[in-house]
Amino acid sequence: MRVNENYKNLDESYLFSTIAKKVKEFSEHNKDVEIIKLGIGDVTQPLCHAVIEALHSAVEEMGRKETFKGYGPEQGYDFLKEAILSYYDKNNVSLDLDEIFVSDGAKSDLGNILDLFDKDNIVLIPDPVYPVYVDTNIMAGRKIVFIDANENNGFLPMPNNSVKADIIYICSPNNPTGAVYNKEQLSVWVDYAIKNEAVILFDSAYESFIDDKNLPKSIYEVENAKKCAIEFCSFSKTAGFTGTRCGYTVVPNELVFNNSSLNKMWLRRQTTKFNGVSYIVQKGASAVFSEEGQKQIKQNLDYYKRNAKVISDTLDKLGIDYTGGKNSPYIWLKCPNNMNSWDFFDLLLTKIGIVGTPGAGFGNNGKNYFRLTSFNTLEKTQEAMERFYELFK
Ligand code: PLP
């Protein structure tokens, strides 16, 4: 038996363990300091009432002989897919029911989709980036070409026509930078992908944070995107499902490469290797799209957005450069005095008891940047940013 040697090429993931270790050490020696975490990448507000009601009633159904459900369709129940379809419809994107695949979250699908592609494809990934795109391709032994996201391009890199790529990752609104592509920029990417016969893997896990009506929530708002893009979406950040687990992936029927339909291949892959998301969770997820559900998740999203504004207002007052904070739960700031992101991490922790995430953990271009998130409480975010202001004013 031989193991997959590609795993040896993965970098150890030291980021969150190193942060936890440093925080533990500091708090042991400074028991009087209240540490505030603005590095949280997880939601903190509970599931909304409409979802809880739907979950309860689905549990009741599972306990009665007449309404009990066994295996469901691997690609998701129609009631949820129809709700997703009408959500897209509201954004003027029309999809067919068989183009939607329900899953246990975007992370699994982002990893699993690679089953459809040959190992010898060239993968284009922005730097800095959500590390899952990089690691899943390293595991498969694929060649990665990085594209710089930096101050000069507002952390929104555009294609370089002299670089040939087959699989392109785009995350908008972006984790970690909070930057969001507009339609014109995405349409340049779509044209590039079509010209290169490439596929775009578009991660829209944070689309529900977009308030600006001019910014696209879905890549399919761009003409011809159905010819080249797969879209990954999630209830995690939209509706607090990080622990409940549900997401969906759109694989348009128009995606045909070398006479192979990616939609049919993905259906075959999912029906072979996946047995669907639980009926109970899908009922909860469909309640997100009800009138009540939409109002209630908006309250939670508005809460996080208000925190983001507390952070970005403070940075504005201090004249510190950043991206994100609007249309995104993330604020990506330039470390003052060109500090390295780990030194900046230590400074914030030891001087004011604030924890964030060093940009170096997301790629080389993050080494002088720092990610703050809006997922803590309003009170703690305000307190943290008061301390931050006092330190840097
Ligand atoms: N995509 C991005 C960019 C993320 O930041 C995350 C989670 O933090 C995910 C996908 C994973 O989402 P899910 O919880 O649906 O697996």
Distance 175 CA to ligand 1 centre (A): 9
**What is the 8-class DSSP label of residue 298?**
H
Q: Which two tokens stand for residue 244?
A: 């409940």
Q: How many CA atoms lie within 13 A of 237 on its CB side?
A: 28
Evaluate: CB of 102 within 6 angstroms of ligand 1: no
Q: How far apart are CA 10 and CA 309, in angstroms?
A: 36
Strands 247-250 and 143-148: unpaired
Task: Note the pLDDT tens digit of each residue in 52-76.
Answer: 999 999 999 999 999 999 999 999 9
Task: Answer for the pair 231, 220: CB distance below 8 angstroms, yes or no.
Answer: yes
How many angstroms separate the CA atoms of 15 and 20, rounded? 9
Residue 47 alpha carbon to ligand 1 centre in Å? 17
How many angstroms separate the CA atoms of 233 and 264, rounded? 19
Cα of first residue to Cα of last residue in the chain, in angstroms, is 61
Residue 175 Cβ inside 6 Å of ligand 1? The answer reads yes
Question: Could you tell me the domains of the chain?
Answer: 5-47+292-392 (3.90.1150.10), 49-289 (3.40.640.10)
- Ligand 1 near 236 CB (within 6 A): yes
Q: How far apart are CA 171 and CA 234, in angstroms?
A: 13
pLDDT of residue 289: 98
CB atoms within 10 A of CB 379: 10
Does 41 contact ligand 1 (Cβ within 6 A)? yes
Question: SS3 of 357, please?
Answer: strand
What helix, strand, coil percent values describe the chain, rounded to 5?
45, 15, 40
Dihedral Cα 321, 323, 327, 331, nearest 10 deg? -80
| Atom from ligand 1 closest to the CA of residue 237 | 14
Contact residues for 369 (Cβ-Cβ < 8 A; gap 6+): 128, 177, 332, 333, 334, 335, 341, 359
pTM reported for the whole predicted model: 0.97
Atom of ligand 1 nearest to the CA of 235: 15
The Cβ of residue 275 has, within 10 Å, a number of other Cβ atoms equal to: 11
pLDDT digits (tens, 9 = 90+) for 29-49: 999 999 999 998 899 999 999
> Ligand 1 pocket: which of 43, 110, 170, 175 to mutate (most atoms <8 Å of CB)?
175
Residue 205 Cα to ligand 1 midpoint, Å, equals 6
60 Cα to the center of ligand 1, angstroms: 30
Pairing state of beta strands 143-148 and 167-171? Answer: unpaired
What is the 3 state secondary structure string of 303-319?
Answer: HHHHHHHHHHHHHHHHC
The DSSP 8-state label assigned to residue 111 in this structure reads H
| CB of 205 closer than 6 angstroms to any ligand 1 atom | yes
What type of residue is 95?
L
Three-state SS string across 261-297, please?
A: EHHHHHHHHHHHHCCCCCHHHHHHHHHCCCHHHHHHH
- Of 137, 92, 88, 86, the C-alpha closest to 111 is 137
The parts of the chain modelled with pLDDT lower than 50 are none
Q: Is the CB of 112 under 6 A from ligand 1?
A: no
**Strands 100-103 and 36-37: what pairing?**
unpaired
Q: Which helix H or strand E contains 170, and what residues bound it?
A: strand 167-171
Kindly give the distance from the C-alpha atom of residue 265 to the centroid of ligand 1, in angstroms, as a whole number.
Answer: 23
Q: By alpha-carbon position, which residue is closest to atom 2 of ligand 1?
A: 205
> Does 237 sit in the ligand 1 pocket, CB within 6 Å?
no
Ligand 1 centre and the CA of 247: distance in Å?
9
CA angle (65, 69, 74) in 5-degree steps:
170
Ligand 1 neighbour 234 (Cβ under 6 A): yes
Q: Is 126 in the pocket of ligand 1 (CB under 6 A)?
A: no
Spacing, Cα 204 to ligand 1 middle (Å): 9
CB count within 10 Å of CB 155 equals: 23
Residue 288 CB-density burial (10 A; 0-12 exposed, 13-18 middle, 19+ buried): buried
In sign, the C-alpha dihedral spanning 277, 85, 131, 164 is positive
Q: Is 95 in the pocket of ligand 1 (CB under 6 A)?
A: no
pLDDT, tens digit, for every residue of 169-213?
A: 999 999 999 999 999 999 999 999 999 999 999 999 999 999 999
